[in-house]
Amino acid sequence: MSERIPLLNSLRKKTLKKGISNSLIKKLLIFVSLAAIIITIVLQFLIIPPKSFPSERKKNFIFFVTDGTGPNYITMARNYKQFISNDYSQKLHLDEHLAGTSRTRSNSSWVTDSAAGATAFSCMLKTYNGAIGVNPFQNPCGTVLEAAKLAKYLTGLVVTTRITDATPAAFSAHVDYRSQEDQIAEQQIGNGMVDLMIGGGLQHFVSTGRKDGRNIIQELANDWTIANNASSFFDIYNSNISAKHNILPFISLFEMGDVPFQIDRENMEYDGPSLKEEAELALNLLHSSSENKKGFFLLIEGSRIDHCGHSNDAACIPREVMAFDEAFEYVKSFADKHPEEDFIMFSTSDHETGGMTLSRQLDSNYPDYVWFPEVIHKVKHSGQYMTKKLLTEENIDKDYIETKVMAEWMGIEDYTKQNVKEILTLIQQKDAGSLQDYINNLVSTRARIGFTTHGHSAVDVNTYVHANSESLLNYVLQNVRGNRENIEFGNLVVEFLGLNMTAANEFASEVNHGPLVFSTQQSSILSFDEYHKDI
Ligand SMILES: *[C@@H]1O[C@H](CO)[C@@H](O)[C@H](O)[C@H]1NC(C)=O
Ligand SMILES: *[C@@H]1O[C@H](CO)[C@@H](O)[C@H](O)[C@H]1NC(C)=O
Ligand SMILES: *[C@@H]1O[C@H](CO)[C@@H](O)[C@H](O)[C@H]1NC(C)=O
Ligand SMILES: *[C@@H]1O[C@H](CO)[C@@H](O)[C@H](O)[C@H]1NC(C)=O
């Protein structure tokens, strides 16, 4: 617009100088119309993004989800990073890539769950809380991952929770309720849409964890390369590139359930991979595969940031966000090292969890404007880890609480006798939920971190992008910049990779998605229990 106005002004001045005749007015009118047409065409090219990104090169799309991460979590992690490095100029890697925000409501509530949130990304539609790859009428909807596979791209899922949990499931399966995790596992390994899965959740693939007692790894994974423990993960991770050439499809579920929290893995003997190492192996396997003809679609989820929020565990949050941030930075460096291919990285969250705030009023006095990263920095374990220890170890007494729990694990010195007594009582009562809340609250009150819920909140979440060329980045930004609806982002995948969603919808319509044994009402209750069983 700023280009257009001076142009028109100078035109008007010229005609006035020459005086007015009829033919001149006609000529002028023709000239103005032509100019208007040309300007309109030029503006269209400038403002309206091209339908698809024109390129014959391999195209790779990495879709990141930070589960449960609101803008508040980003601030907390950045403050924490500045505190531990004693350098106020420190930023998160993500900070360089902020593009806008996303509105998160689902079809059934202002406050979405992860299932509806991820289905909004994968199917580009709003559905009810609990829905995995099905629309509000419980009809399966084709996902961008399926459309990518049908268009001969390679596909992968990388998570730190169970691979059957809501976010990865909504890209790779279709069931009416997120609690149908055994059924999700069958679809993921059996329907030929996923080439690579790395994370936790082996329990839903083997007889010891499945309700039907089947071992679907043995039954369905004949063609798969299987690395279902940490040492076989690292055997492949440490092998050279030529050895990685022919490994897909690849499954590495190195935990029965969730992968341990970052805060716990830093303070215990843990031999499993980090999210960054998972992402590293995934990129290398997909990229170097002999099957890689067009590029790949990869989902990478910082899954357990959400779990820190659910349990209102302040110390857990920044560690988990920073582990994701490291993984994002690694993928960025990988993309930038391959300028001969197109890479788009897009990152957002499904929702915020915990209604967390960086400051908290503790009594009726006017509060100080503070929060204390130093308090959470002293904490060595998640509330979940400490609670499990306290409920499984023998002979826990006052001394154990004082030296182990307060001093060693939480770095709290100003505890009261009453605090110790109450912890001992909750241990006696075997009340895991209340014990964990009590422990986490000892930390969050001292750090002045507030939580308003054990569930999710409706606040907008951030979006981040990176592309490995300037023109590609402009293309991406045109599609995501500003405040968007969560169902808009999948379209970027579809256009960039040139996908056919009709084909994906046809594929999905054949999938058996029904709940196996329970009714709608029962299953939503079940799904809540299932989701919170280890929190
Ligand atoms: C939910 O989906 C149904 C069916 O598409 C639609 O009629 C309704 O308006 C939607 N509700 C909201 C709140 O999005
Ligand atoms: C890991 O899995 C491999 C392959 O199944 C097996 O040979 C090995 O014993 C396992 N290692 C551990 C530590 O369980
Ligand atoms: C790399 O892999 C190839 C093929 O598996 C093998 O022949 C070669 O010895 C390996 N090189 C190294 C350095 O491990
Ligand atoms: C998309 O897929 C549908 C169903 O398989 C097919 O009929 C249609 O021709 C495809 N469209 C394009 C543009 O390839």
pLDDT in tens, 332-361: 999 999 999 999 999 999 999 999 999 999
Q: How far is CA 520 from CA 196, 212, 293, in A?
A: 32, 21, 43
> Count H helices, E strands: the chain?
22, 12
Please write down the HEC assignment for all residues of 115-130.
HHHHHHHHHCCCCCCC
Question: How many A from CA of 500 to the centre of ligand 4?
Answer: 6
Candidate ranges 37-46, 241-250, 377-386; pick with highest mean pLDDT: 377-386
**Structure-derived torsion over alpha carbons of residues 111, 116, 118, 119, reported in degrees to the nearest 10:** -150
In whole angstroms, give the CA distance from residue 170 to residue 179: 12
Which residue's CA lies nearest to atom 3 of ligand 1?
Answer: 136
Taking CA atoms only, the protein residue closest to ligand 4 atom 12 is: 500
Structure confidence at residue 244 as a pLDDT band (50, 70, 90): confident
**Per-residue pLDDT, 241:** 74
Within 8 A by CB and 6+ apart from 77, the residues are 92, 317, 318, 321, 322, 325
- Residue 114 among the catalytic residues: yes
Query: What type of residue is 352?
Result: E
- For atom 5 of ligand 1, the residue with the nearest CA is 136
Q: How far apart are CA 451 and CA 432, in angstroms?
A: 19
Nearest CA to ligand 3 atom 13: 240
pLDDT of 195 higher than 60: yes
Give me the pLDDT at residue 36, please.
66
Res. 423: pLDDT tops 60? yes
Question: Ligand 2 centroid vs 233 CA: distance in angstroms?
Answer: 10
| pLDDT, average across residues 318-343 | 98
Q: Do the Cβ atoms of 158 and 199 come closer than 8 Å? A: yes
Q: Which ligand approaches the C-alpha of residue 52 most closely? A: 4
Rg (CA), the chain: 27
Mutate which of 112, 126, 128, 487 for ligand 1? The one with the most ligand atoms within 8 Å of its CB, which is 126
pLDDT band at 519 (very low <50, low <70, confident <90, very high): very low
pLDDT of residue 51: 53
Q: How far does residue 224's CA lie from ligand 3's centre (Å)?
A: 21
Kindly report the backbone phi and psi dihedral angles of residue 532, in degrees, each rounded to the nearest multiple of 5, phi listed first.
-105, 10
Band (524; pLDDT cuts 50, 70, 90):
very low
CB distance 238 to ligand 3 below 6 Å: no
Ligand closest to 240 (CA) is 3
* Residue 94 pLDDT > 50: yes
pLDDT recorded at residue 6: 34
Query: What is the predicted pLDDT for the residue at 520?
Result: 46
Locate the ligand 3 atom nearest the alpha carbon of residue 243 and give its number. 5
Could you tell me if the CB of 243 is within 6 A of ligand 3?
Answer: yes
Residue 66: closest CA among 25, 85, 94: 94
Q: What's the rounded Cα separation, in Å, for the pair 144 and 491?
A: 9
- Judge if the upstream peptide bond of residue 136 is cis by omega within 30 degrees of 0: no
Separation of CA 107 and ligand 1 centre (Å): 6
Q: How confident is the model at residue 38 (pLDDT cuts 50, 70, 90)?
A: low
Nearest CA to ligand 2 atom 13: 231
Is the C-beta atom of 242 inside 6 A of ligand 3? yes
What domains lie within the chain, and their CATH numbers? 59-356+457-526 (3.40.720.10), 358-450 (1.10.60.40)
- Give residue 233 CA to ligand 3 midpoint distance, Å: 17
Cα 452 to Cα 108: distance, rounded to the nearest angstrom: 21
Q: Which ligand is nearest to the CA of 218?
A: 2
Residue identifier of the C-alpha nearest atom 13 of ligand 4? 500
Mean pLDDT of 234-257: 92
For the CA of 251, the nearest ligand: 2
Residue among 106, 114, 179, 289 flagged as catalytic: 114
Among 103, 104, 106, 107, name the best residue to mutate to test ligand 1's pocket (greatest count of ligand atoms within 8 A of Cβ). Answer: 107
* CA quadruple 507, 508, 509, 511: dihedral sign: positive
Q: What's the 497 CA to ligand 4 centre distance in angstroms?
A: 15
**Spatial distance between the Cα atoms of 529 and 289, rounded to a whole number of angstroms:** 40
Answer yes or no: are the C-beta atoms of 101 and 90 closer than 8 Å.
Answer: no
Predicted pLDDT at 253: 98
Q: What is the pLDDT of residue 242?
A: 72
Cα 88 to Cα 76: distance, rounded to the nearest angstrom = 13
CA-nearest residue, atom 8 of ligand 1: 107
Ligand 4 pocket test, candidate residues 149, 497, 500, 510, most atoms within 8 A of CB: 500
**Ligand 4 atom 2: the closest Cα is on which residue?**
503
* Distance from residue 344's CA to the centre of ligand 3 (Å): 31
Which helix H or strand E contains 434, and what residues bound it? helix 432-447
Rounded CA separation 109/351 (Å)? 12
Amino acid present at 85? S
Of 18 and 28, more confident: 28
Q: Are 301 and 158 in contact (CB under 8 A)?
A: yes
User: Which run of H or of E encompasses 198?
Assistant: strand 196-200
CA within 13 Å, CB half, 173: 29
Residues with CB under 6 A from ligand 2: 229, 231-232
Give the distance (Å) from ligand 1 centre to CA of residue 106: 9
Rounded to two decimals, the pTM is 0.88
Q: Which residues have C-beta atoms less than 6 Å from ligand 4?
A: 500, 502-503, 506
Helix (H) or strand (E) run with residue 484 in it: strand 482-485
Percent of the chain with pLDDT over 90: 84
pLDDT given at position 1: 34
Does residue 492 have a pLDDT over 80? yes
Q: Coil, strand, or helix at residue 344? A: strand
Q: Are 323 and 276 in contact (CB under 8 A)?
A: yes
- The pLDDT mean for the chain works out to 90
Q: List 348's β-bridge partners, or say none.
A: 65, 463
| Sequence-ordered alpha helix ranges (H) in 448-500 | 470-480, 489-497
- Tell me which amino acid residue 297 is: F
Lowest-confidence range among 231-240, 267-276, 409-418, 526-535? 526-535
Confidence (pLDDT) at 17:
40
Reported as a pLDDT band with limits 50, 70 and 90, residue 41 is low
The long-range contacts involving 374-377, CB below 8 angstroms and separated by at least 24 positions, are 374/83, 375/411, 375/443, 375/446, 375/447, 376/80, 376/314, 376/315, 376/318, 376/443, 376/447, 376/449, 377/80, 377/83, 377/84, 377/315
Instruction: Compute the distance from residue 202 Cα to the ligand 2 centre, in Å.
Output: 14
pLDDT score, position 28: 64
pLDDT recorded at residue 525:
37
